[in-house]
Amino acid sequence: MEIKIFGIPNCGSVKKARSFFEERGFAYSFHDYKKHGIDEEHLKRWCAEFGWERVLNRKGLTWRNLDETLKNAVTDESAAIKLMKDNTSTIKRPVIESVKGNTIGFDEDEYKKLFV
């Protein structure tokens, strides 16, 4: 089973997700937003699946530190995708893609349902 984790390595939720898979012996690949960015196609796909309001992390420090003009401009999916592409730390983490299903955010119970 191929599992791909998207996020940034120093994020607590990403660390928990990676530990979940490592402790169970599941191989995964890791896509680091800081090193590789993210393409618009992934963001569109995630927004279609989860809703842009869920993919955009408005609780994080990056969002809180953004200029109010930038924050106020995010009124729809298109604007959210542009912001997330330019500021990858505003993407909810981790996003996990797998043939068994996709998830967003760390949710151990959801992971157990999908992967164990």
pLDDT of residue 1: 67
- The architecture that CATH gives domain 3-115 is 3-Layer(aba) Sandwich (3.40)
Does 4 have pLDDT greater than 70? yes
47 labelled catalytic = no
Does 116 have pLDDT greater than 90? no
What is the rounded CA–CA span in Å between residue 90 and residue 100?
Answer: 26
The reported pTM is 0.94
> Which H helix or E strand runs over 29?
strand 29-32
**For the chain, which residues make up each domain, given as ranges?**
3-115
Question: Which candidate in 11, 38, 73, 79 is catalytic?
Answer: 11
pLDDT 10s digits, 61-91? 999 999 999 999 999 999 999 999 999 999 9
pLDDT of residue 41: 98
| Residue 68 CB neighbours (<10 A) | 7
Query: Which residues lie closer than 8 Å to 93 by C-beta, 6 or more apart?
Result: 6, 7, 8, 11, 13, 14, 57, 105
Q: Are 50 and 81 in contact (CB under 8 A)?
A: no
